[in-house]
């Protein structure tokens, strides 16, 4: 058996345990820190924000979230819903401009049984996809290879953000 070292995953495991136990919302915590590489927040609008997922499914995995800490789209006002969708489109445009993916997965998980890792703060996942971005690793070893550090991706996206806003 070969060993794949992923020491950064321990930070995620510990952080997830602590935040669940203390009822901390990573989106609200990032929002308090504002736009910064540390928070991974790229943009904050009147009602919603764009941020990178610290533990992405693929490089460039964005989270588009309302400022309101609510569990479902049904809890949002029309202006929040409108900005949420507008920022989703702008996020897709930004990823197309900078990363040139071949396609996207865009989705919302509402409720634990639907796959929501963060049940209390609804958010939209925008995951860029490329032909051949899946290989044998997820199938054979349940491991996803992310080839670029999330903070490097942040810098690339932040540098071109004004072009889509």
Question: Residues with catalytic annotation?
Answer: 123
| Pairwise CA distance, residues 3 & 47, whole Å | 44
Which residues are within 8 A (CB) of 161 and not within 5 positions of it... i.e. 6 or more apart?
A: 42, 43, 94
β-sheet bridge partners, residue 105: 127
- Alpha-carbon distance values, 42 to 12, 65, 134, 144, 161 (Å): 21, 12, 27, 24, 8
Q: Which helix (H) or strand (E) holds 137?
A: helix 136-141
């Amino acid at each position: 058996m070969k060993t794949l070292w992923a020491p950064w995953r321990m930070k995620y495991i510990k952080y997830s345990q602590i935040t669940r136990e203390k009822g901390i919302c990573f989106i609200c915590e990032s929002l308090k820190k504002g736009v910064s590489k540390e928070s991974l927040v790229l943009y904050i609008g009147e009602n919603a924000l764009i941020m990178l997922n610290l533990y992405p499914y693929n490089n460039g995995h964005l989270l588009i979230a309302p400022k309101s800490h609510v569990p479902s789209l049904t809890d949002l006002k029309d202006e929040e819903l409108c900005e949420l969708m507008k920022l989703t489109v702008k996020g897709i445009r930004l990823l197309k401009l900078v990363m040139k993916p071949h396609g996207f997965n865009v989705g919302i998980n509402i409720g634990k049984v639907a796959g929501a890792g963060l049940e209390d703060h609804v958010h939209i996942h925008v995951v860029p996809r490329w032909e051949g971005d899946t290989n044998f690793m997820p199938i054979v070893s349940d491991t996803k290879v992310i080839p670029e550090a999330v903070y490097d991706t942040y810098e690339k996206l932040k540098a071109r953000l004004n072009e889509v806003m």
